[in-house]
């Protein structure tokens, strides 16, 4: 499974990318607003720091506007993925972007039927929002399972990018359900490294090693 970071904090991105475990980045209007910086500048900096796909979202709600904005975003760097909403206009734009060879991430997916349409439109990625479904009493992972089955049935190339990830358990379950990627906040990424038994075991090993008085070097 590919792991993307859901953030616009370039310093954090560079730090976590140093692990060699970051495959890409996703952004959205909320994250751009929190950064307090010009969007095009932020996306350019992220693309320079990360070799993998970087999702940058359009703000227009009509097809023509999405196409104009998407082309402008795609021109920033070769690894930009244009992020469009899962609406009728968004999927029409996605279809045109596919013809033009521009990668797309169709976002705010909450049903398998929506995911089917996105794949038919030629989306590079579909982003089902797991956590938000959980928030309203549904099981977000059921959606991942349904999309995986539909895409496998018909050989769609669209990659499932699990979004609205809230915990390491979400990452694990999405991987088991067959998601190709997961986009996660930095705090969840850091939590993936941790387990109390790992820490407890390491403390014990280090205490026992100190008792030997030895040095490897």
Encode pLDDT of 80-100 as tens digits: 999 999 999 999 999 999 999
Length of the chain: 217
Question: What distance separates the 2 farthest-apart alpha carbons in the chain?
Answer: 71
Tally Cβ neighbours within 10 Å of residue 142.
Answer: 13
Looking at the DSSP bridge assignments, the partners of residue 182 are 3, 162
For the chain, give the mean pLDDT. 97
Q: For 144-150, what is the mean pLDDT?
A: 98
Q: Can you give the pLDDT at residue 107?
A: 98
- One of 14, 34, 83, 211 is an active-site residue; which one? 83
SS3 label, residue 214 = coil
Q: Can you give the pLDDT at residue 147?
A: 98
Q: Can you give the pLDDT at residue 195?
A: 95
Q: For 5-9, what is the mean pLDDT?
A: 96
**Is 120 among the catalytic positions?**
no
**Architecture of the structural domain at 2-212:** Alpha-Beta Barrel (3.20)
Encode pLDDT of 24-56 as tens digits: 999 999 999 999 999 999 999 999 999 999 999
Q: Can you give the pLDDT at residue 115?
A: 98
Q: Can you give the pLDDT at residue 36?
A: 92
Residue bearing tokens 């088991």: 176
Q: Can you give the pLDDT at residue 119?
A: 98
For residue 128, the 8-state DSSP code is E
Residue bearing tokens 């929190």: 34
Q: Can you give the pLDDT at residue 151?
A: 98
Q: Where are the domains of the chain?
A: 2-212
Q: For 62-86, what is the mean pLDDT?
A: 98
Q: Can you give the pLDDT at residue 110?
A: 98
177 closest CA partner among 160, 194, 201:
160
């Amino acid at each position: 499974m590919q792991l993307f970071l859901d953030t616009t904090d370039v310093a954090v991105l560079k730090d976590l990318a140093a692990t060699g475990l970051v495959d890409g980045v996703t952004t959205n209007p909320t994250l751009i607003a929190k950064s307090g910086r010009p969007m095009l500048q932020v996306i350019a900096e992220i693309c320079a720091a990360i070799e993998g796909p970087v999702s940058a979202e359009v703000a227009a709600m009509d097809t023509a506007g999405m196409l104009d904005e998407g082309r402008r975003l795609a021109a920033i760097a070769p690894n930009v993925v244009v992020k469009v909403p899962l609406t009728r206009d968004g999927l029409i734009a996605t279809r045109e972007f596919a013809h033009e060879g521009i990668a797309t991430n169709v976002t705010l997916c909450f049903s398998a039927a929506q995911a089917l349409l996105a794949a038919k439109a030629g989306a590079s990625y579909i982003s089902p929002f797991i956590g938000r479904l959980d928030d309203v009493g549904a099981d977000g992972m059921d959606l991942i399972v349904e999309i995986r089955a539909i895409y496998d049935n018909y050989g769609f190339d669209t990659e499932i990018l699990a979004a609205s990830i809230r915990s390491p358990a979400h990452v694990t379950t999405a991987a088991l359900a067959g998601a190709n990627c997961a986009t996660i906040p930095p705090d969840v990424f850091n939590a993936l490294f941790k387990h109390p038994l790992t820490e407890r075991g390491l403390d014990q090993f280090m205490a026992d090693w100190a008792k030997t008085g030895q040095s490897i070097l």
